[in-house]
Amino acid sequence: MSWQGKVLAIHIGEISQPLNSVASVEAQAGVGLTGDRYGIGAGTFSKKNSPDREITLIEQEAIEALEREYQISISPGEARRNVTTQGVPLNHLVGKQFKVGEVVLQGIRLCEPCGHLEKLLARGKVQEGLRHRGGLRAQILKGGVIKAGDVVTSV
């Protein structure tokens, strides 16, 4: 499967706070994103020795489908995923390596929406609308800087 996408937005933040949009972020292999709640092990769902919380990604196409199919409009930061992509088949990257700019990631598992996200957004049916398209949890294999506009490709 040949594809090429790009990074549209990057969001990081503290636990239970709105995420902040940043132009770039350092991705640390085996740790997470500098300045993000999961990078310091303080996220709501942090688990020790769990690589599936290092970085999360969501497709802009899924956010658009939520609005089109459920009339629920959310911004990329409100999705509470770190990286918003366009043109990247995230569901197909479970178990696969891919590059985000200079950073190499390993898709671990789908990032299904949870009741916590539903509660934070208080817009009804967000969990239903993002089911099976809520993004991807990934491990950082090779660190570096991720920037808005970076190309995303398979390895």
* Predicted local distance difference test score (pLDDT) of residue 56: 94
Query: Taking the domains of the chain in order of start, what are their residue ranges?
Result: 4-154
**Cα–Cα distance, 101 to 152 (Å, whole number):** 6
* Predicted local distance difference test score (pLDDT) of residue 112: 84
Count other C-beta atoms under 10 Å from residue 108's C-beta.
Answer: 20
Of all residues in the chain, what percent carry a pLDDT higher than 70? 85
CATH code of domain 4-154: 2.40.33.20
Phi, psi at residue 27, to the nearest 5°? -100, 120
* Predicted local distance difference test score (pLDDT) of residue 53: 80
Instruction: Reply yes or no on whether the pLDDT at 47 is more than 70.
Output: no
β-pair type (32-33, 144-147): unpaired
* Predicted local distance difference test score (pLDDT) of residue 27: 97
* Predicted local distance difference test score (pLDDT) of residue 143: 98
Q: What is the 3-state secondary structure (H, E, C) of 36-48?
A: CCCCCCCCCCCCC
